[in-house]
Amino acid sequence: MSQEKLQQAISMIKAGNKQAGQKLLGEVLTENPKNEQAWLWMSTLVPLDKQIFCLEKALSINPANMQARDQLMRLKQRASAPVSQPVPEKVPAKEAVVRESRVMDEAVQTQTPVMQPVANAPITVPRPRVWTKKNKYGADVIMLDETHLVSFSVTQEKLPALLHILNERAPAGETLRKMEKPIRPIHISLDRITSVRELYGILTIQYKDTAGKDAKASVTTPDKQTAEIMQALQHGLGEQFRSVAKPTKMMNVLLPVSALFLIACTCTGFFYWLANGLAAEQPDIHGSATARGLGNLLLLIGPNGVLCIGGVALLILLAVLVANIAKPPTETTLVRSVTTQ
């Protein structure tokens, strides 16, 4: 319910109806005072001292939000200037709770905006987080904002257009719509996600589609950024989701390694048969440059060389299988917490 109200409030603010949006944000914060995005959006609607208060609340929930931290630093510097109001003194915890409650109560009860933005006060709208991974064909992109998760790929020639669109800092869904013919596009509303599982850097997302049916999508994360993406997803999904880490099921280890083992055996047998035939007939190899290169390579290494290479590949796969059985990899899952009445 809080997530739906937050999305409604954001839509109202973007449409210019800041009064109604601010009132709805106050209701969201009354229901869930630890909603980081609600505090960030509330900070865009209030005067200087209240902006500082809202940003401090957001940072107490997510200290890793560097954008909010930088904004808070700029506001404090502005507040400490001689022409500005002094920085509010630290108050005891009991008085801070009363102050926080008063901010939320006023936002809910009054029919007029609680606080009008100060002229020229810096306004920060939370922008989507972006992760990219370049490859020889182009780039893979993952975007996450307060309402949606987006993933797609682009070709090499589309990279300049992608960089231009990303510089606009538009919401994730809008960025996807602006891209011309994205590859493997995925666009999921956060409030429809039921679980997220991460294994080997691949996110398996279970969600409800627009028809209310169960659906599944897979997203490959950039190297060394999987943990950061999972943490951002957990913050975006809200308090009702918790992270569970456990050793993966043995079937998740056996299936991919067995498939690779079978492919390696098949390739070894095929290339052995091909090399054996070429060695016996010593033909003049014709065809494309790739075919001639492969034929000459097989003549060079011979059937025994193919067996050695295939045997080494099978031994490596066997070692990987044994290592994963002895110590199964850890899978991390974001699941909805079960609450009891």
Query: How many distinct helices (H) and strands (E) make up the chain?
Result: 11, 9
Query: For the range 151-157, what are the long-range contacts, defined as Cβ-Cβ under 8 Å and sequence gap of 24 or more?
Result: 151/184, 151/185, 151/186, 151/217, 151/219, 152/176, 152/179, 152/182, 152/183, 152/184, 152/185, 152/186, 153/182, 153/183, 153/184, 154/179, 154/182, 154/183, 155/183
| Helix-helix angle 93-109:48-61, to 10 degrees | 110
Angle among Cα 44, 48, 52 to the nearest 5 degrees reads: 80
* Beta-bridge partner residues of 141: 132, 152
Domain 129-238, classified CATH 1.20.120, yes or no = no
Contact criterion met (CB below 8 Å) for 114 and 22: yes
pLDDT in tens, the chain (341 residues): 567 888 888 888 888 888 888 888 888 888 888 888 888 888 888 887 788 888 888 888 887 777 788 788 888 877 776 544 444 555 455 455 445 555 555 444 433 333 333 333 444 445 688 888 888 788 889 999 888 899 999 888 888 888 888 777 777 778 888 888 888 899 998 989 999 999 888 999 999 988 889 999 999 998 788 989 998 898 888 888 989 988 888 887 788 888 988 999 999 999 999 888 887 776 666 778 888 888 888 888 888 999 999 999 999 988 988 888 888 888 899 998 765 44
Distant-in-sequence, close-in-space partners of 218: CB < 8 Å, separation ≥ 6: 202, 203, 204, 205
Distant-in-sequence, close-in-space partners of 182: CB < 8 Å, separation ≥ 6: 152, 153, 154, 176
Structure tokens at 253: 């280890």
Contact criterion met (CB below 8 Å) for 151 and 129: no
- List the CATH code of the domain at 2-109: 1.25.40.10
Of 183, 184, 176, the residue nearest 154 (C-alpha): 183
How far CA 190 is from CA of 185, 255, 314, in Å, comes to 16, 30, 42
* Spans of all domains in the chain: 2-109, 129-238, 250-326
Q: Which amino acid is at 60?
A: S
The separation between the first and the last C-alpha atoms of the chain, rounded to the nearest angstrom, is 17
